[in-house]
Structure 1
Amino acid sequence: MRKTLLFTALALASGLVMAQQSAPAKPGVDREAARAEWRAKADARFAAADKDGDGQLDRVEAQGLSERLASNFDRVDANADGEISRDEMAAMHAKMRHHGRRGSHGMGYMRGLMKGMDDDGNGAISRAELGDKMPKLAENFAAIDSNGDGELSRDEMRAFHKARRAERQAAKTN
């Protein structure tokens, strides 16, 4: 009798745990948590790079944080005071993310991504330019490169993402 009660209690408890784990999360909750985590990591990286603790990055500190930041130092330093503040960094991230357009968050991100990784300025990303910066993109490089020229254009990336979105929608309806 005790064994039966024990097994029944365990079965019910495990069923409750499974139900809680499979319950869909509220929309936006996970996104906000991820955004907060990203901000915390970015703040920590900024603070670690700020060797003199003045709340701003000079050219040497920017070089220690990121080669890409150092090469774009003058663009990020909006007030041209020779240092990058957190506000200037946030403004650059917003500019890259939105690229001056409202409502086109994804396109601004893609445009910023292309611009940031296109070292030779030809409007496409080669395998060499991609390197190991974005493993998922590198993993799907051949599938995205529809014309086989060894470079990813914005149109190829747009078409790939559109096809993937259609696949996900089809999977949801089935």
Structure 2
Amino acid sequence: MDITGYCRDLIKILDQAESMSEKLTPLKLIDAWSGKGVSKFRVAEVTPPKHPREELERIVAHLLLQQYLREDFSFTAFATISYLKIGPKAGLLENEAHVITIEGMTNKKSAYKDRLSQSSNSKRSRENDQAISKTVQDSVVKKSQKHKQPNCGSNLKTKKLKLQAGGDDQPVLLD
């Protein structure tokens, strides 16, 4: 699917926010793009897309990965906040022939049909999800057991290195 126009729209929104000395998180950017949220972030010539929010998030993530958008982090004592900025490849959009595509996008009708077919198989799907969840949990437990450090705790004995008196200068661990 061609998402070049969407990328141009997102850059217009980011340009406007920057001109107002405002920063947009990914969620605020998607809200402004969808015509929701704070009205000052909306751009009149940007038409809200008719895709589900999940797909809009995928488009933003794709544009981040392709460097048309970039993250700018703000660090506080309690959190790290990710703001979106115009990325290094955004200048390529000045060329009208430049096209950005993404794979796997669906239209609303096919997404709706997929949801209907999934609901008819929901019992089987739940059983599969539970089996996968159990497998993932088992895997996490095994990995955490592998990485546990032996003798961790408050009752550790302090070990000291002493040199043997025999003169071969090999260290010996003594409790």
From the two aligned structures, give the one with the greater helix fraction: 1
TM-score bracket for the superposition, by shorter chain length = under 0.3
TM-score normalised over the length of structure 2: 0.25
Which structure has the larger Rg?
2
From the two aligned structures, give the one with the greater strand fraction: 2
Higher relative contact order (CA 8 A, sep 6+): 2
